[in-house]
Amino acid sequence: MESLMILDFDGTILDSSKAWFDIYQEYCKKYNITISNKANRKKCDFSYSDCIEEIKSTILSSQYSKLLDASLNEIAKNIYKKINPREGFIKFLKNRHNLSSKIIIISKEEPALIKSYLKHHKIFEVSEVFQDHNNDRNKVIFYINLSKKYNCNIHNITLVDDSYLHCVAGKQAGVFVIGINDNHSIDRQNQMNSVCDIYNNNFLPLLES
């Protein structure tokens, strides 16, 4: 029976603190948009979702076209290239690939951005990249459906993620959960430790197991 590893991207594979604020800032400069007070307040906690929300709230919805979305992605690609994967990630991925594990990425960011990042860092072990538009990873049924899609026993699935809600749903579904500490608060660290099978700051400890 084939094993499956599901990776999140932003916050899991890499620490992108402040990256989306920098991307938003560049985008605003390019299109003469005033940077919002919310963005200035959040900065390090400014996420992909925040970026899209702020841009859409600043310009007319009719003006937010695929062309502008593509432009945002191009800016993001250039900024993300400068961010290295977490320590031990590339070797961890190669080890899992050598064990004949199918590796996929499911994340909220655009697949084109993720594929560009993987290519830049010479990461070739990921077979598929999907975008989670509707926060489906918060639902137990999502992982059950993946096990059916890939003809894989639910207990042969590993989830690697920094999101507490994703980890809770994955654990309830029966998958093996590896949590990544993405600058979590003490309370969140305690929550992650309570639900994850393994919870680490990076991938180095996973190379020892």
Looking at residue 14, its amino acid is L
Task: List the structure tokens of 15.
Answer: 């620490």
- In the chain, the percentage of residues whose pLDDT exceeds 90 is 75
**Phi, psi dihedrals of residue 162, rounded to the nearest 5°:** -100, -5
C-alpha dihedral over 46, 47, 48, 49, to 10 degrees?
A: -100
Q: What is the pLDDT of residue 65?
A: 59
Cα(131)–Cα(14) distance, integer angstroms: 17
* pLDDT single digits (tens) 2-15: 799 999 999 999 99
pLDDT above 90 for 115: yes
The average pLDDT across 87-96 equals 95
61 Cβ neighbours under 8 A, 6+ residues apart: none
Class for domain 3-14+85-207, per CATH?
alpha beta
| Per-residue pLDDT band at 105 (split at 50, 70, 90) | very high
* pLDDT single digits (tens) 136-186: 999 999 999 999 999 999 999 999 999 999 999 999 999 999 999 999 999
- Answer yes or no: are the C-beta atoms of 170 and 177 closer than 8 Å: yes
Looking at residue 119, its amino acid is K
**Phi, psi dihedrals of residue 109, rounded to the nearest 5°:** -75, 160
Give the domain ranges of the chain. 3-14+85-207, 19-80
